[in-house]
Amino acid sequence: MFDLVDRPFDMATLVAAVGDLGSGALVTFVGYVRERSDDGRPVTGLHYEAHRELALVELRAVGDDARARFAISRIAIVHRIGELALGEIAVGIAVTAPHRAAAFDACEFAINELKARVPIWKQERYVDGGVRWRENA
């Protein structure tokens, strides 16, 4: 499961998508909208935009790369686009593997690669009315 959605999603859906009785480990990552920017400015929310077709291709490629590098069973990645309020989930990743180390490593790899490769752009919206497009980390 690799998707971009314009509405809130439930992490239980991602967990169900990677469910596998042959796996002994499930690792999830949830990135959500926090109340302060990296520079300490109070945030009211975020706006995400994406090149949908390319982003979906690259999300799948991140999943394929994770499967090739790590001994995992399944991986799912969903990212929100559009307007997000404080506390809403922006990105969710779920990974199953026979053993925990591979699941942890693949999950960390996936979020780092998503930030580096997937054409999704984030705009922070500040309490003072200002906005700023942020580079992916």
Domain membership of residue 134 (yes or no) is: no
pLDDT-derived band of residue 137, with 50, 70 and 90 as boundaries?
low
Q: Are strands 89-97 and 25-32 parallel, antiparallel or unpaired?
A: antiparallel
pLDDT at 32 over 80: yes
Domain membership of residue 27 (yes or no) is: yes
**Count of domains forming the chain:** 1
Domain membership of residue 133 (yes or no) is: no
Domain membership of residue 136 (yes or no) is: no
* DSSP per-residue letters across 9-74: --HHHHHHHT--TT-SEEEEEEEE--SB-TTS-BEEEEEEEE-HHHHHHHHHHHHHHHHHHS--SE
Q: Which residue has the tokens 């859906």?
A: 13
pLDDT at 132 over 70: yes
Determine the Cα–Cα distance for residues 52 and 45; give it in Å rounded to an integer. 21
Domain membership of residue 135 (yes or no) is: no
Look at phi and psi of residue 106 and say left if phi exceeds 0, alpha if psi is from -120 to 50, else beta. alpha
Q: Which domain holds residue 54?
A: 2-127
CATH number of the domain at 68, please: 3.90.1170.40
Domain membership of residue 64 (yes or no) is: yes
User: What's the whole-model pTM score?
Assistant: 0.95
